[in-house]
Amino acid sequence: GEKVFAFFCKGGGGALLREKMVEVMAKKFVCIVDDSKLCKGLGPSFALPVEIVPFCHEHTLRTIAALPELKGCKAVVRTGDCSNNKVEEGKPPAVTDNGNYIVDLSFDAPIADVKAAAAALKKTVGVVEHGVFEGMTYQVIVAFADGTTRTAGQGGEAPWWG
């Protein structure tokens, strides 16, 4: 089926590689969210997770933080429970189901060129996967607090939030 949306950021629970693998296997990926998940640009409202191998992880962290495509990011290794989406002081690095670490990239402003940032991450030695889900979504169903929903994409309307 036709893919409709350019970018989503997923993987806050630390399973971004497995989520992405499941989504590429699907004939159609329908994303169901509440309206608090909508944003005009990726970056400031949700840290971009990046799964990296443990070997030389500090070097990989520094390399990611220095990428020009990610200018302005603050890169930190997630610690404690992998699914907590935060740093727990004094805890060891969080370990994914695949035995890897997660680096969370925080931004003060939207990522200028998400496609370029995703490509730069994929080219970085030590990076397993990133949380940018590009061109994978067939349809988005958005739920609102009043109980109503709106559908964007195939069989629905054009995205209204960006």
User: Smallest Cα–Cα separation from 122: which of 134, 108, 109?
Assistant: 134
Residues 6+ apart with CB under 8 A from 81: 88, 94
129: annotated active-site residue:
no
Q: Which of 19, 23, 69, 134 is catalytic?
A: 19
User: Smallest Cα–Cα separation from 70: which of 109, 117, 104, 122?
Assistant: 117
Instruction: Report, in angstroms and rounded to the nearest whole number, the Rg of the chain calculated over CA atoms.
Output: 16
What residues are annotated to the active site? 19
